[in-house]
Amino acid sequence: MNVLDSELVVGSLRRQGFQLAETPEEADVIFYNTCSVRQHAEDKIYSALGRLRHHKNRFPKKILGVLGCMAQKDQEIIKRRAPHVDIICGPGQLSQLPALIGAVETTGELQLALSLDRTETRHDVERSFESYDPLRDPSMRPNSFQAYVRIMIGCDKFCTYCIVPSVRGPEQSRHPLEIAAEVRQLAAEGCKEVTFLGQTVNSYRFEAKDGRTYRLSDLLALVHDTPGIERLRFITNFPKDMTDDLLVAMRDLPKVCPYLHVPAQSGCNEMLKRMKRLYTVEFYRDMLARCREIVPGVAISSDFIVGFPGETEESFEKTCDLVRTGGFKNSYIFKYSPRPGTKGYEMFEDDVPEDVKKRRNNDLLALQNAVSLQDHRRQIGHRVEVLVEGPSKNGFKQDPNGPIQLTGRTRSDHIVVFDGYPRLAGQTLNVEIDDATSFTLFGRVETCETNGDFHSGHWETPLEKIPEAAQTRILPLFDASDSSKRIGLPLV
């Protein structure tokens, strides 16, 4: 969600005449787009702001801003710990940024743009969180052939550990026709793969004026035939809202990729109850079985929190059992981080010691890695369809004129690494898998011989037809010709 917000902020400021700076020090305006999900993310921002204090003292005209969830949650703390900050802007107010920059320039005073907190009436709070979806700018994405599209904002689930409902506001779904128009625009700009975003994306529900209700399955059907779009994905799913119509849409609509991210969080009913996840582990297991029955071969991934208050060795073992038997492609595992402002913080003492959290985190990760390796090994000897994203980490270090290591993803979201030329980025290729680790599949591009040269059958695409941004994963810099202002969005 933050990656998308950053893309949109930079795109909109660029239209105002700004350009991206190479380093924060070079920039006239520096923004940190922040996350509040765990304490660690916040600590990193305060350190980064601290490092810029001296720079700001030397160049007081430079504008420093904190955007996103931390801004929404902690304006008073930011004012106290980083008094050199000029703009504090929540995720529901990002469209105000150009005006806020102007106001700092003219008044020199701190500018705040925040949405209402959730103690006000629902209607008022909803109105204070704007869905921020200005015109898209393909050059602002790591590549032009993949894009996120927000289909809803906010969350109403209020899991007891989670700060998201407070900082991103009430759940609100976007108009399906607006989403379809954005997908068409992205496709016209060369986008092949669209990922719909929502905190609980499968809870998407839009009541149209004609009385028709659109669910996520309807939305997928609506955009499915957009010319140019090859792949449709959606993240993140809430287990309780995994309805059959969505699974049937995944099975029957060929562009909908067979991949589901459905966080379980724990394998212990007592913990799930304390987390207020609204399902039991038995329900979750049945849901997994239903997904696999309706969409044979679907890849499923999950999130888990270890060390939630009250988690005993016995409850942790139940989570291990779910990971051992759940068949997840991969899992993201987090140590519980108490978040002031959540029910969990008020109700439960953070009683699992840090070293125990760390050990459980490592143990669960090791277990998941073993499961992922089994899943990956099953793919050896198979041919998979890969959308090439560009050079892998190693590929970036290799000679760009020769074949280098490339990376891409299968329809089931598996990462594949193989040798090829950088200009294959953005193409969809068939790759034969011949090796696997817990994280990666390794393969060879299906090839043909042309004039004695080694070719992948897809090289015929003339270079000029591949969008320039597709040839590199580094965010391109702007054309500086008519611009006087620079912005920096340091990656923290």
Site string for ligand SAM, 245-284 (x = CB under 6 A): ------------------x-x-------------------
Instruction: Print burial letters for 162-181: b (CB count within 10 Å at least 16), e (below 16).
Output: bbbbbbbbbbebbebeebee
- Interacting partner of 292 out of ligand SF4, ligand SAM, none (Cβ under 5 to 8 A depending on kind): none
- Token code pair at residue 99: 């005006």
φ/ψ of 316, rounded to 5, equals: -60, -40
- Interacting partner of 48 out of ligand SF4, ligand SAM, none (Cβ under 5 to 8 A depending on kind): none
Cα distance between residue 115 and residue 89, in whole Å: 9
Site string for ligand SAM, 144-173 (x = CB under 6 A): -----------------xx-x---------
CA distances in angstroms from 151 to 121, 131, 212, listed in the order given:
23, 9, 17
Cα distance between residue 334 and residue 358, in whole Å: 9
Q: Which of 241, 230, 248 lies closest to 387, judged by CA?
A: 230
Under the binding rule (CB under 6 A), the answer on residue 37 touching ligand SAM is yes
Cα distance between residue 200 and residue 250, in whole Å: 17
Give 3-state DSSP helix, strand, coil % of the chain, rounded to 5: 40, 25, 40
Q: Smaller CB distance to ligand SF4: residue 164 or 445?
A: 164
Under the binding rule (CB under 6 A), the answer on residue 204 touching ligand SAM is no
Under the binding rule (CB under 6 A), the answer on residue 352 touching ligand SAM is no
Smallest distance, ligand SAM to C-beta of residue 340, A: 10
Smallest distance, ligand SF4 to C-beta of residue 319, A: 16
Could you please report the per-residue DSSP string of 311-329? --HHHHHHHHHHHHHH--S
Q: Which of residues 214-243 bind ligand SF4 (CB under 6 A)?
A: 238
Q: Going edge to edge, which strands form the sheet with 331-335?
A: 259-261, 299-306, 331-335
Under the binding rule (CB under 6 A), the answer on residue 367 touching ligand SAM is no
Smallest distance, ligand SF4 to C-beta of residue 275, A: 8
Q: Smaller CB distance to ligand SF4: residue 253 or 278?
A: 278
- Interacting partner of 316 out of ligand SF4, ligand SAM, none (Cβ under 5 to 8 A depending on kind): none
Under the binding rule (CB under 6 A), the answer on residue 372 touching ligand SF4 is no
Given candidates 4, 10, 101, 155, which one binds ligand SF4 under the rule CB under 6 A? Answer: 155
Site string for ligand SF4, 77-106 (x = CB under 6 A): ------------------------------
Stretch that binds ligand SF4, among 41-49, 108-116, 150-158, 437-445 (CB under 6 A): 150-158
- Interacting partner of 165 out of ligand SF4, ligand SAM, none (Cβ under 5 to 8 A depending on kind): ligand SF4
Q: H/E element holding 452?
A: none
Under the binding rule (CB under 6 A), the answer on residue 165 touching ligand SF4 is yes
Stretch that binds ligand SAM, among 61-69, 219-227, 330-338, 447-455 (CB under 6 A): 330-338
For residue 374, the tally of other CB atoms under 10 A from its CB is 12
Which runs of consecutive H residues, i.e. helices, occur in 74-215? 75-81, 97-107, 122-128, 164-168, 176-188
Under the binding rule (CB under 6 A), the answer on residue 158 touching ligand SF4 is yes
Given candidates 84, 157, 224, 251, which one binds ligand SF4 under the rule CB under 6 A? Answer: 157
Contact 217, 248 (CB under 8 A): yes
Q: Smaller CB distance to ligand SF4: residue 261 or 486?
A: 261
Contact 89, 100 (CB under 8 A): yes
Contact 264, 326 (CB under 8 A): yes
Given candidates 34, 96, 166, 199, which one binds ligand SAM under the rule CB under 6 A? Answer: 199
Residue 39's Cβ-side half-sphere holds a number of Cα atoms within 13 Å equal to: 10
Smallest distance, ligand SAM to C-beta of residue 298, A: 17
Q: Is the peptide bond before 319 cis (omega within 30 degrees of 0)?
A: no
Q: Which residues contact ligand SAM (rule: CB under 6 A)?
A: 37-38, 161-162, 164, 199-200, 236, 238, 263, 265, 303, 305, 334, 336-337, 339
